[in-house]
Amino acid sequence: MRNLFEVDAWKIMEHGFDPAKQQHAESIFSIGNGVFGQRANFEETYSGASLQGSYVGGVYYPDKTRVGWWKNGYPEYFAKVLNSCNWIGINIEVDGELLDLNVQKPRAFYRELDMQKGILTRRFKVKFSQGKELQVESLRFCSMDNDEIAAIKFTVTPLNFDGNVKFTPYLDGKVHNHDSNYDEFFWEEDSHKVDVQKGYLCTTTKKTKFSVATAMRFSFWKNEELLTIHPNCHARAFYVENNFEHFLEQGNSYVLKKYVSVVSTVHHSETSVIPRAINHVRDAYTSGFDVLRSAHESAWKKLWEKADVVIEGDIASQQGIRFNIFHLYQTYTGKHAQLNIGPKGFTGEKYGGATYWDTEAYCLPFYLKTADPEVAKQLLLYRYNHLDRAIENAEKLGFKNGAALYPMVTMNGEECHNEWEITFEEIHRNGAIAFAIYNYVRHTGDASYLMEKGRKVLNAIARFWVQRFNWSKAKEKYVLLGVTGPNEYENNVNNNWYTNYIARWCIQYALDCENSYAASSKAQLSRQEIEQWTKLVDAVYLPKLEGTRIFLQQDGFMDKEQRTVADIPAAESPINQHWSWDRILRSIFIKQADVLQGLYFFEDHFDALTIQENFDFYEPKTVHESSLSPCVHVVLAALIDRMDKAYELYLRTSRLDLDDYNREANEGLHITSMAGTWLSLVEGLAGVRIGQNGLTINPKIPKSWNVYRFQVLYKSQPVRIEVNHHKASILNAGNVPLKISVKGKMYTLEPNESIIS
Amino acid sequence: MRNLFEVDAWKIMEHGFDPAKQQHAESIFSIGNGVFGQRANFEETYSGASLQGSYVGGVYYPDKTRVGWWKNGYPEYFAKVLNSCNWIGINIEVDGELLDLNVQKPRAFYRELDMQKGILTRRFKVKFSQGKELQVESLRFCSMDNDEIAAIKFTVTPLNFDGNVKFTPYLDGKVHNHDSNYDEFFWEEDSHKVDVQKGYLCTTTKKTKFSVATAMRFSFWKNEELLTIHPNCHARAFYVENNFEHFLEQGNSYVLKKYVSVVSTVHHSETSVIPRAINHVRDAYTSGFDVLRSAHESAWKKLWEKADVVIEGDIASQQGIRFNIFHLYQTYTGKHAQLNIGPKGFTGEKYGGATYWDTEAYCLPFYLKTADPEVAKQLLLYRYNHLDRAIENAEKLGFKNGAALYPMVTMNGEECHNEWEITFEEIHRNGAIAFAIYNYVRHTGDASYLMEKGRKVLNAIARFWVQRFNWSKAKEKYVLLGVTGPNEYENNVNNNWYTNYIARWCIQYALDCENSYAASSKAQLSRQEIEQWTKLVDAVYLPKLEGTRIFLQQDGFMDKEQRTVADIPAAESPINQHWSWDRILRSIFIKQADVLQGLYFFEDHFDALTIQENFDFYEPKTVHESSLSPCVHVVLAALIDRMDKAYELYLRTSRLDLDDYNREANEGLHITSMAGTWLSLVEGLAGVRIGQNGLTINPKIPKSWNVYRFQVLYKSQPVRIEVNHHKASILNAGNVPLKISVKGKMYTLEPNESIIS
């Protein structure tokens, strides 16, 4: 696979401008701060193909779902994260001619995303039709220090002339979602105001009535000298601007520093967003660009101290893993319980920026091991806060007595997916949400969350499962009919092993918690429930291939034509681009880990032979056409010592977007799968587990790497791990002793003590 | 169930105007002639709730399908039968006040559909705000004699004044489809012209470029005297009108006779539609209303001679069966191979007026037994003409070597359904299309069609099935995975018994035909095909409940919670209005005959005990929430002597729309299910079969009827059947001897001979 951008340990770099790559680059170079984010669109006008995108976390529109014939239980709407006010805009004009890289082809174009510092830089030279040449540099960031602030430093230098240049910084709220189902415009204007060197715009979403206030201020400099200017103020509905012409002298740099504040009713009251945005941007203006930038860079520095992974000897892998970690923290920082992690973060519109089970299955372990427990806890609280909605959701489907079915896709707790065929029956999501509670407790040791809040979620989920199973007279077992497993290349199957297994586990876990806490807290389950659940757990049907250790993905799996991925002609791969949907459905091919997802979650329930036999059965049938698939296979492959396979699949996931394997990064990045990449490395290659037996490490290293090192948090204590081809070093960097198993041997490490194994 | 309209043997009548019933009445009182049709909208303005509908057979628009995420193999569009030019319009104004029954509440309102003559009449008195009273009568028909002509006689009588009344006959092409997926307007104007007492409008569909030319002429009379008038001519895009004021004298009748011609490029070249419409309407104008009406009524008389069913002793049943026959012939007359039978005919928009498998499964037997063989043959030719498209359709899904998959929904042979969830995998349709060929041959004895055309269709369908089966190592049988059977309350199941059975039958029938005709015509199958197909036919998997005669609807059916319809609380019925779709899918409840559909088609393959055991197994699980369900159950119930059940279900189907059982007749009538009603009576109650053993009759009669009589065609010979509680009389009304089995005894009837049994 070609590298589309230059390879560097900390930077993504692009020399030379290729309009065909622009939309992909807009995704790759996106910046964000967990609260809002911005694709790497140009500040100045760009008339070429572009996906202009500015997104504010939690601000969504309930776009009417597209279905042929609507049926009961279908969601009424598909929640769209909204493309909101364009705050980066700065137009430049020379002799009435707009700067537009689709018109004036740039020279010496350079774009850089410094992941260590979170700064996006762009530089180029350009010649206007009358021969006048400018050098332009822009530098911008969304502050990690103050997540309602962004700043841009836009520098123009006339290279071969003295003369007037017109500058127009503006805010534009007339922004459409590219993925609107019915071409609706989603915004109304609340108000706007413009004044000299400042202005604001407040827009409100139709129906959901989220308001976003965006305020700007700017200053104008000649080299280091602040200039006094007299701009024209102009405003209309959804738009405010200042414009001014200035006489530039050749060889001098003229700098427009634009400060922006983005404040929404996701976090503040309706009446406060405008004053807050105005105050914020005034403070930012007063502090100045360098002060803001320095605070922003310090915030990133703190994050990297905990989260960085260093790989020596393979710079592409080094860049890849940092790119993933960088975007994960740009998307979610854990500061706000209203927010979650959209599959494309703030980098695109597809999948609507909503919350999927990806959060619990893939992202949570990343935050558990790289951030303070509070961050992961916010993700749990998000679901806890939605419990009532999950109960309502189950009621709509005919369930009773407080049974909860969490949505497959949500913004506010309501189900809001975009189609029936795949998502509707993926009730396994409920299992991942219960598993997240268990996972949180074993990582952090924080049982108080479980006691106070977790059990309520757990019991409600268990109640759903208990009602959803039915007794099969034919099988004399409890069965789960009409589900879709994680493998979305199946639909409406019976007895998906993964779903049955995790459902049974949920019920058992709820019973175990009831037992454990019955003494110390009030009973939450009735005696009848305990009896019924216990009986059910003992008689859940789990399909298995007779005479083997293989768990069958679902009933009827062995009726399929038995083929392997090697049988698919190259010209027909990926099958989702070449085969009809019905053919994919009845084929044996698996989109993403399904039985193996269960073995990954519940690794300690199975012996090595079972894992190996299932891996060997399913891996050859898996086409990995979901970005969330390879990571689970990497972890299991490493576990059973298939390092070549593990590394092959690791490469596939680690640079998925950077190298645009699926040719769709132009639509946005695969944010949640980035957590999967990190899992592949830490749980897969490095063999780090926090399971029944505490922290265990069984590290391996790919041939092409010299050494790699990273830190994980275990019970809030940092543990530093370094692996090379000869040894692994484990350092307890915390302040309490830790028991750690390394390569099968148990050690007790005092603070600051390390072992080399 | 209440009767919504008055009960009469030949008429549908409504006394008094109820705006809440208007849309239902617009459907019930619809008129058509197999080529175009018109809902019973008012000629004058009506500002109340109404579904204005005028439809031209075969004129459709490819409306973009509504899906969440589009996948390969999904249809690009859902074909919509188009709401086209409103040709009935005649506005009436008194003192500037428009006649509008939503404004002036009518007295003595009376509406009548004379089914014997095909005439829609409406009469009422109305008082305008200034106290002036009019009596209004309208009478209209779509000519069954000339299927491009319609005529309206609109009479106005001033009851209490002399004074001016304004008349505005017009054509309006600015007509929207209510069911447009994206609120698109589907028409472009081609041209229009208006002149004194005449005008035309030609509109063309976007994308598909069908043109419809609608021309009008009118004359104006005082009682029997033709008046000379000087109307104003007015036109704009999509609209032409004449308007004139006339001084009316109290107590005299003023008659506006409006002649309309509707000509489309479905039947004529682009350049000819306008001159043809103009010539047609001129001829109609010249002939005059009474001549046209008389030719129209004669055409209906001829149809009724063959198709009428007389029931004495139960006038509601009598009205019901005639209502069904009347609408079937209004929808399809068999004159044009381009046309077919939309589920709602010309009475509404839902299901887009496209062709479904309903045609072969339910409608074909009706036309085979009530019309000359040419009519049914047109339905076969429709599919024959689409064979290339069916092969393309299969190719899109990955099939090869001339395999054909006929579409589930089509206008031109391409698949164009509106959703995946139900229709996509209903490949059983292919079986019904093959079965129709077999059915045609056994009814008509016309083997030449089979030889020349039918076998090509048959072999292509068989090739599809052969490729669609796959070998299951687990079962050591050929299986069909990922299908939906006729029961649409299941989706994506494995080994649907009905589909497997009819698929196997198709292949066997193709092999039999190859054997039969190998001597007299060129071989159409290769030796390898014959060998492979023979092997496959012997090893098709057909799920069965061990130890019984019960065929299982699909794999896993016995894992479902075993319940009966009696277990559904009344408040939750119909389940499709109360249960979520996933709950319906995993329940045992059956929407429409599935296994039983197979037993109905292939009755002579099974012994009575098998039919009885399956009926007793499936009937209690069947909710009959498809209008196409009860008829099959009636036929089988009568066969196994469950006359109470048969009659109960017969009642449910026979007055479905008249009494609006499903509260949806406002959207249009269930045209194809009307054929099912006829089947229920003729094949069910009267036990008429044309099967392996020729014509057999085993008549029964419901308790409440005194006598019923009808005619069927067998090998083109009319056979008249009369049944009362004591005896059945069978008359050979043809001109060749016929062998007929009555109540198990075989007779040879000479022409004009009858037997009484």
Cβ-based neighbours of B338, under 8 Å, separated by 6 or more: B58, B266, B267, B382
Give A560's contacts in chain B (Cβ within 8 Å).
Answer: 470, 472, 481
**What CATH number did the domain enclosing A216 receive?**
2.70.98.40
Give A559's contacts in chain B (Cβ within 8 Å).
Answer: 470, 472, 474-475, 479, 481, 494-495, 555
Q: Which amino acid, one-letter code, is at B140?
A: R
Which residue of chain A comes nearest to B581, CA vs CA? A72
Contact B492 A585 (CB under 8 A): yes
Considering only CA atoms, give the Rg of chain A.
Answer: 27
d(CA B482, CA A282): 62
- pLDDT value, residue B75: 85
Q: Following DSSP, what letter does each residue of A130-178 receive, concatenated? A: TS-EEEEEEEEEE-SSSTTEEEEEEEEEESS--EEEEEEEEEE-----T
**What CATH number did the domain enclosing A660 receive?**
1.50.10.10
Give me the residue from B397, B425, B580 closest to A72, CB to CB: B580
The dihedral built from the CA positions of residue A442, A448, A450 and A451, taken in this order, carries a sign that is: positive
Look-up: residue for tokens 């989603």?
A186
Give A352's contacts in chain B (Cβ within 8 Å).
Answer: none
Decide if B340 is inside a domain: no
Give me the residue from B66, B424, B470 closest to A582, CB to CB: B424
Which residue of chain A comes nearest to B554, CA vs CA? A556
Contact B145, B295 (CB under 8 A): yes
Decide if A121 is inside a domain: yes
Residues A300 and A350 in one domain: no
Contact B369, B713 (CB under 8 A): yes
pLDDT tens-digit map of A268-322 = 999 999 999 999 999 999 999 999 999 999 999 999 999 999 999 999 999 999 9
A398 interfacial to chain B (CB closer than 8 Å): yes
Decide if B735 is inside a domain: yes
Please tell me the total count of domains within chain B: 2
- pLDDT value, residue A426: 96
B563 interfacial to chain A (CB closer than 8 Å): no
The mean pLDDT values, 10 residues at a time, for chain B of 757 residues are 82 96 97 98 98 96 86 86 96 98 97 98 98 98 98 98 98 93 93 98 96 98 97 98 98 98 97 98 98 98 97 95 98 95 93 89 96 96 98 96 96 88 89 98 93 96 98 98 97 97 98 86 90 98 98 98 97 94 96 97 96 98 95 97 94 90 90 95 96 90 96 96 97 96 95 95
Helical spans, DSSP H, in B587-642: 595-601, 608-618, 630-639
Decide if A711 is inside a domain: no
Contact A398 B78 (CB under 8 A): no
Question: What does residue B113 show for φ and ψ, rounded to 5 degrees?
Answer: -115, 115
d(CA B150, CA B169): 14
Contact A68 B65 (CB under 8 A): yes
Contact B585 A398 (CB under 8 A): no
Active-site option among A43, A297, A415, A488: A488
| Shortest CA gap A526–chain B (Å) | 25
Cβ-based neighbours of A218, under 8 Å, separated by 6 or more: A169, A197, A198, A242, A256, A257, A258, A259
Residues A555 and A410 in one domain: yes
Tokens of B198: 């005449």
**What CATH number did the domain enclosing B701 receive?**
2.60.420.10
Q: At what angle do helices B630-639 and B608-618 cross, to 10 degrees?
A: 140
Give A473's contacts in chain B (Cβ within 8 Å).
Answer: 558, 562
Give A68's contacts in chain B (Cβ within 8 Å).
Answer: 65-67, 78, 417-421
pLDDT tens-digit map of B492-522 = 999 999 999 999 999 999 999 999 887 777 8
d(CA B630, CA B645): 10
Dihedral (Cα; B26, B32, B37, B41), 10-degree rounding? -30
- pLDDT value, residue A252: 98
**A395 labelled catalytic:** no
Give me the residue from B68, B72, B559 closest to A580, CB to CB: B72
Which residue of chain A comes nearest to B484, CA vs CA? A582
Contact A255, A149 (CB under 8 A): no
Contact A583 B397 (CB under 8 A): yes
- pLDDT value, residue B2: 63
B422 interfacial to chain A (CB closer than 8 Å): yes
B479 interfacial to chain A (CB closer than 8 Å): yes
- pLDDT value, residue B84: 96
Interface test with B, best of A72, A399, A471 (most B CBs within 10 A): A72
A425 interfacial to chain B (CB closer than 8 Å): yes
Burial of A135 (0-12, 13-18, 19+ CB in 10 A): middle
Q: What does the DSSP 8-state code read for residue B622? A: B
CA nearest neighbour of B433 among B460, B415, B412? B460
Give me the residue from B68, B396, B559 closest to A479, CB to CB: B559
Q: What does the DSSP 8-state code read for residue B452? A: I
Residues A669 and A584 in one domain: yes
Domain final residue, candidates A659, A685, A711 = A685
A185 interfacial to chain B (CB closer than 8 Å): no
Domain final residue, candidates B284, B305, B326 = B305
Contact A341, A332 (CB under 8 A): yes
Residues A264 and A405 in one domain: no
Domain final residue, candidates B305, B334, B355 = B305
d(CA B101, CA A721): 84
Which residue of chain A comes nearest to B182, CA vs CA? A182
Per-residue CA distances from B500 to A301, A535, B274, B542 (Å) = 65, 38, 50, 7
Determine the length of chain B: 757
Kindly state the helix (H) or strand (E) to which residue A582 belongs, with its residue range: helix A581-586
Q: At what angle do helices B643-654 and B630-639 cross, to 10 degrees?
A: 160
| Shortest CA gap A296–chain B (Å) | 39
Contact B559 A182 (CB under 8 A): no
Strand ranges inside B300-379, DSSP E:
309-312
Give B69's contacts in chain A (Cβ within 8 Å).
Answer: 418-419, 421-422
Which residue of chain A comes nearest to B181, CA vs CA? A68
Which residue of chain B comes nearest to A399, CA vs CA? B583
Decide if A329 is inside a domain: yes
Contact B470 A424 (CB under 8 A): no
Going by their DSSP bridges, the two strands A149-158 and A133-142 should be labelled as antiparallel
CA nearest neighbour of B328 among B671, B30, B668, B632? B671
Give B576's contacts in chain A (Cβ within 8 Å).
Answer: 71-72
Residues A354 and A325 in one domain: yes
Give A65's contacts in chain B (Cβ within 8 Å).
Answer: 68
End-to-end CA distance of chain B: 36
Look-up: residue for tokens 């399908």?
B65
Residues A572 and A608 in one domain: yes
Contact B403, B463 (CB under 8 A): yes
Residues A301 and A318 in one domain: no
Domain containing B284 equals: 88-305
Decide if A493 is inside a domain: yes
Within chain A, which residues score under 50 in pLDDT?
none
Decide if A429 is inside a domain: yes
d(CA A669, CA A327): 9
Q: At what angle do helices B497-517 and B455-468 cross, to 10 degrees?
A: 130
Interface test with A, best of B563, B581, B584 (most A CBs within 10 A): B581
Decide if A68 is inside a domain: no
